[in-house]
Amino acid sequence: MRELVDRLVWPRMPAERLAALRIFVGLYATIYLVIRLTHLYSYTDLPASAFAPVGVLRLLSAPPPVWTSRLALLLLYPLSWALLFGYRHRLLAPAFALLLLWVLTLSNSFGKILHTDNLLVIYVSVLAVSPAAEAYAMDARGRSVPAPDGRYGWAVQLMAAACVMVYLLAGSAKLRDAGFAFFDGETLRNYVAFSNVRKIELGSHHSPLAPLLLPYPRFFSTLAGFSLLIELGAPVALLNRRLGVAWAIAIWAFHVGVLAMMAIGFFFQITAVAFLPFFRVERLIARILPRAVRKKISSDGDFLLA
């Protein structure tokens, strides 16, 4: 029993894998925040009457002072770089996680609630409290890479479990709202049709593929079954690496389908960053920066890799 618990909760993994996840998640967070800077800043100018607090901000009866929101947003950017490069990780990574939670919760409290932000915040939070800067980091300069250990594996496994839980909840919500009638595909078909018609009416981007597929109910019943299978069956991804890889590829394909038929892009998922905990991502880092380059950078005392 203990061996099973260790394998599921405290698996031995290389420090490079956790560090690679820090790099990819940190890079995504940095780019995401840069792209959304104007959008996030716009919420600081909205009137207090538009404030409908969610999450950690439910304790507030009024929006925080404008200057605090703008300062938090300003500090996010250098802190995202600190996470990316593994600089003063024990101090700056938790600060970044807290500020990211604050800023994104504030934006959700003034506008549409974007559940897709939740997984990014969870990943950053797990990385912030884990030893994710003991390889491929400024903090690791001049040190040898530690041997594989459970203290690296628990964080990777927790990120994978968080990802699995998101889809398990999504599948449960489908059954709660539509019951097993969801399997006939009509609910999904109507949702796809409504989403595209709404976008056409609003003059927004819509899917050119949806009108070609909507006349085929059997296609949507198959798609509905596939979506429920991979969402409700998500926990099997935690049993072993091969199942995890297969599930991650299947759920990524699901998001590609959503993008193709509904013109809705869940970018954390479409970029596959959300599913990297299921892969040996340290091998990808090794391909991007060959060993000889990593050694040269380290010996020159530069800033990136140990």
What is the pLDDT at residue 290? 58
> Would residue 304 count as lying in a domain?
no
- The segment with the largest mean pLDDT, out of 51-60, 109-118, 219-228, 246-255, is 246-255
Structure-model confidence comparison of residues 243 and 306, the more confident one: 243
**Strand, helix or coil for residue 301:** coil
> Would residue 306 count as lying in a domain?
no
> Would residue 72 count as lying in a domain?
yes
What is the pLDDT at residue 180? 76
Tell me the per-residue pLDDT of 242-276, one tens digit each, with 9 for 90 and over.
999 999 999 999 999 888 888 888 899 999 999 99
> Would residue 274 count as lying in a domain?
yes
What is the pLDDT at residue 16? 93
Percent of the chain with pLDDT over 90: 47
> Would residue 305 count as lying in a domain?
no
Of the pLDDT bands very low, low, confident and very high (cuts 50, 70, 90), residue 175 is confident
> Would residue 224 count as lying in a domain?
yes
Please provide the average confidence, as pLDDT, over all residues in the chain: 86
Average pLDDT value for residue range 190-199: 85
What is the pLDDT at residue 217? 85
Domain count of the chain? 1
> Would residue 170 count as lying in a domain?
yes
User: Where is average pLDDT lowest: 44-53, 146-155, 161-170?
Assistant: 44-53
Average pLDDT value for residue range 64-77: 91
Tell me the per-residue pLDDT of 115-155, one tens digit each, with 9 for 90 and over.
788 999 999 999 999 999 999 999 988 888 888 988 999 99
Decide if pLDDT at 5 tops 70. Answer: no
Structure-model confidence comparison of residues 222 and 204, the more confident one: 222
What is the pLDDT at residue 56? 86
> Would residue 284 count as lying in a domain?
yes
Print the domain residue range for 134. Answer: 2-141+148-299
